[in-house]
Chains A and B, each alone.
Chain A
Amino acid sequence: MNFIFSIVLSSVVVLILVLIPWIGVGALKLDTLFGIIIPYIALFVFFAGIIGRVIGWARSPVPFRIPTTAGQQWSLPWIRRSPLENPKSTAGVVGRMIFEVLTFRSLFRNTKLQFRSGFRIGYEWEKWLWLFALAFHYSFLVVLIRHLRFFTEPIPGFVNLIEQLDGLMQTGVAPVEGFMLPSVMISGFVLLGAVTLLVLRRILIPQVNYVSLPGDYFPLFLITAIGLTGVLMRYVLKVDIVSVKELTMGLVTFRPSIPYEIGVLFYIHLFLVSVLIAYIPFSKITHMAGVFLSPTRNLSNNSRFVRHINPWSYPVPVHTYDEYEEEFRDKMIAVGLPVEKMPEEEAGSAEEEKE
């Protein structure tokens, strides 16, 4: 299995996933299946799966405090400590996690090996992965929030606000004839751009290429397909937004119904999203939940001053001092090391000698 196989396989699977609703809705008119049943199943699988995952993780205890410390510990009062990189309390851990989750602190640290033989190995500034990852996750988030307009009535203020900001971002971009209605949302394009860069990076960096699995390409391709269908719907082959909202509102209010004539493109988009949602709990995308439970990041470095209990701790055989002295007593006495027990016969005299 190499990267070519992984890429071909993942692309073929995504293509098939596009074809399924195309045929299902376009030819077989299975609107209810693709518009209602599959989304519900997907949501159910998502929630059941992710809850199962988190419970599964949480069921295993954290026997030891093993934070990776990334800065000066708290020791002597005059030594400046790093409260965020090496937290000693819960507040510090919360801060560390916030930086980790919201700004990808650890990725920001990234360097790239510059290997030149003859002793000039360098570790260069490398912020691309951090930048791509940040662009990807934040644009995804914005797209997600924008989509809340399909699931709420009235639409909450922050959704409108985000959308306005998202639209404003493109001021200055020369409008293409007939393209600027409705206003262009920058997030969708950033998302597609970031996904592309992440795919390229995965293929072009040999080490990353080598360790990649089909499960690394597949979600990227799936998200690309979702993004493309979304962009197509919004800007090119416009679908009937009113009908879409009717369907989505039906879904969230548990009074699902299929409006007429939404167009097959929408069903493809919806189906791909359903697949993604259902796929999350069984894939590496669980990192979004797992990162919060990672023991090297969410624990404070306090195990020298706050006792940590291992719930499955059990007594272990040890070699006691008495056993040790038993074996070496004579030798110890010979060099004048104190012992607990004098050998019977010379106990008295040896004791006296020493005093």
Chain B
Amino acid sequence: MAEKIMKPEEMANVNHTPPLLSGWMHRPVEIKSGIYCYPAKPASLEYVSFPHAREWSPMDEDWKLPPNWKEIILEGLRERLERFRSLKIFMDICVRCGACADKCHFFIGGGDPRNMPVLRAELLRSVYRKEFTTAGKLMGEIAGARELTVDVLKEWWYYFFQCTECRRCSLFCPYGIDTAEITIVARELLNLLGLNIDWIATPVANCYRTGNHLGIQPHAFKDMIDFFLDDIEDITGIRMEPSLNRKGAEILFVTPSGDVFADPGTYTCMGYIILFHYLQSLGFDLTWSTFASEGGNFGYFTSHEMAKRLNAKMYAEAKRLGVKWILGGECGHMWRVINQYMDTFNGPADFLEEPVSPITGTKFENAKTTKMVHITEFTADLIKNNKLKLDASRNDNLKVTFHDSCNPARAMGLLEEPRYIIRNTCNHFYEMPDNTIREQTFCCGSGAGLNAGENMELRLRGGLPRANAVKYVHEKFGVNMLSCVCAIDRAVFPALMEYWVPEVGVTGVHELVGNALILEGEKKRETNLRGEPLPGMEEEKDV
């Protein structure tokens, strides 16, 4: 696959002018490899009782749709219009001002006009007009209405799996029209016909069964943690003893399984373990869980219902273990679900207590009903109260910049907490340009379940705006490390950076914490958590 990918200079040569003389409505969709993701395996859909599981291929003419597919979609749309005011309003009030058009990373990096948020939404809106508005019924195309045909359905599938639900478009829309919301609904509709992608469906089935997307079974989960303990012992000289599935702990920790599984997320995971160990002697009482071993929620990328089914695990496990509150790790969409959906989905969590930091006594009033605190809120509070002994110089070989993940930025507003931690654990921190960070942040290009391998061209294109900003600080300040608070970022940025800005690595914020934290009784640290020599130790190693 990698060899098929074109050169960066070629890829970055994008034309943004659509073919003005031919309208978009009848342009047949051209499904390209490198852009689309493989369809869902039937077994994965069946495991969670999703309908119409079957073998099919997007490249085939015949998608093996059920005979009443159109009825299913239109009925599904009617139902959702009645359930979501957002959808109804967003269908009706877009004025096609185009303010959102050049805000989408997929349009910027790819130039496909149907990746302009407004046009992505029109794909669904045109059918809505035809079926649900008088003007559309009477005047058809003149009123922007379009018949739902198999070709339209294929177009939906292709383009609604080219949206990472990042909400950047909604920030700039004068009416707050959120194309992510439209994508969410469109994917629900497609799912009614079994038209899912495997990179989403299989993690969903895994998560349902084993508690995490990667399908890590409890014993393997424990093994993986044990590996980290060995590594940490090598580096710090201390054998740590985190608990798993322990009843009666005060706090349950839930984080994305991606960080247990693959570099560089694993270093962030080690960072968590080190931090929790450090706090233990101060009266910190925390357990991990192999059952609630996933913070992320790929269910959210199929339907609200599936999101709720997967999310239920967190409260259920908190209740079973009898903890007081839940601490959540670094993850993007996980925090959109926790902040905007969790309490509504599966609350009230009245068996838990309002979260209070056992170390500083700080009450997390903003998590009063959800009872779930973001780890950067928790750690920032520790640092502010001088509870952590940190040696930022251990990160001196890093020139760090910070990528705001879409969901914590635009569906929560977690902007300062991670920055505060970075500033206290590193001496060299540089921001990317204003139009590319904080609420205006650019997506990694692989969110919302699009971090597969077969759609690498799409991912590289979608990641171009972010990479471009990283390149800017790399050239200007010598930035060599891109930090983030999202497990998907950590999984996808290495490939993206390798392609666009090869000299830049990727780290989680708690990896920086793990490096900087001075532990009681630790040996003199010679390497960081990656096993690379610490600043000043390079020569000693050589000798």
Contact = CB atoms under 8 A, between A and B. Distances in A.
Nearest to A312: B83
B174 A56 contact: no
A124 to B, nearest CB: 9
A118 B143 CA distance: 41
Interface string B306-329: 001100110011001000000000
By DSSP majority rule, is chain B's interface helix, strand, loop, or mixed? Answer: helix
By DSSP majority rule, is chain A's interface helix, strand, loop, or mixed? Answer: loop
A209 B410 contact: no
A331 B216 CA distance: 12
Interface in B325-352: 338-341, 343-345, 347-348
Name, among B86, B174, B181, the residue most crowded by chain A CB atoms within 10 Å (CB to CB): B174
Interface stretch (B189-197, B413-421, B450-458, B527-535): B413-421
Interface string B283-301: 0000000110000000000
A305 B410 contact: no
Interface stretch (B60-68, B241-249, B259-267, B270-278): B241-249
Given A121-B468, A211-B122, A73 B366 contact: yes
Contacts of A86: 413
Contact of A316 (B108, B309, B374): B309
Interface in B1-56: 9, 12-14, 16-25, 49
A104 interface: yes
B122 to A, nearest CB: 7
A3 B218 CA distance: 59
Nearest to B23: A1
Interface in B172-212: 172-178, 181, 208-211
B89 A208 contact: no
B154 to A, nearest CB: 20
Contacts of B417: 75-76, 79
B230 to A, nearest CB: 15
A76 B167 CA distance: 25
Nearest to B501: A119
A64 B341 contact: yes
A304 B118 contact: no
Contacts of A332: 218-219, 245, 290
A290 B89 CA distance: 6
B98 interface: yes
A291 B177 CA distance: 9
Interface in B347-400: 347-348, 362, 364-370, 372, 374, 377, 380-381, 384
A305 B436 CA distance: 30
Contact of B208 (A205, A307, A319): A319
A82 B413 contact: yes
Contact of A337 (B219, B308, B316, B344): B219
B85 A62 contact: yes
A80 B416 contact: yes
Interface in A275-334: 282-284, 286-287, 290-291, 293-297, 301, 303-310, 312-313, 316-321, 324-325, 327-328, 331-332, 334
Interface in B81-98: 81-90, 92-98
A85 interface: yes
B9 A210 contact: no
A113 interface: yes
A284 B222 CA distance: 56
A68 B340 CA distance: 10
A207 interface: yes
Contacts of B372: 304
B415 A304 contact: no
B85 A57 contact: yes
A210 B175 contact: no
Nearest to B135: A282
A149 interface: no
Q: How extensive is the interface on chain B, given as a class?
A: 35 or more
Q: How extensive is the interface on chain A, given as a class?
A: 35 or more
B171 interface: yes
A152 B419 CA distance: 59
B134 A293 contact: no
Contacts of A3: 20
Nearest to A69: B413
Nearest to A4: B21
Contacts of B281: none
Contact of B367 (A109, A286, A304, A307): A304
Interface of B: 9, 12-14, 16-25, 49, 81-90, 92-99, 101-103, 108, 113, 116, 118-119, 122, 133-135, 141-144, 167, 170-178, 181, 208-211, 217-219, 222-223, 244-247, 290-291, 304-305, 308-309, 312-313, 316-317, 320, 338-341, 343-345, 347-348, 362, 364-370, 372, 374, 377, 380-381, 384, 409-417, 420, 433, 435-436, 438-440, 464-465, 468, 471, 500
Given A207-B18, A215-B144, A327-B209, 20 more contacts: A3-B20, A56-B88, A60-B82, A65-B344, A66-B178, A66-B181, A66-B411, A68-B176, A68-B411, A79-B416, A110-B172, A210-B116, A214-B144, A284-B93, A287-B95, A296-B170, A319-B313, A321-B317, A328-B219, A332-B245
14 contacts: A1-B23, A53-B92, A60-B85, A63-B83, A71-B413, A71-B439, A78-B384, A100-B176, A207-B98, A212-B96, A295-B176, A296-B86, A304-B339, A335-B219
Interface of A: 1-5, 9, 53, 56-66, 68-76, 78-82, 85-86, 88, 100, 104, 106-107, 109-113, 115, 117-121, 123, 129, 133, 205-216, 282-284, 286-287, 290-291, 293-297, 301, 303-310, 312-313, 316-321, 324-325, 327-328, 331-332, 334-338
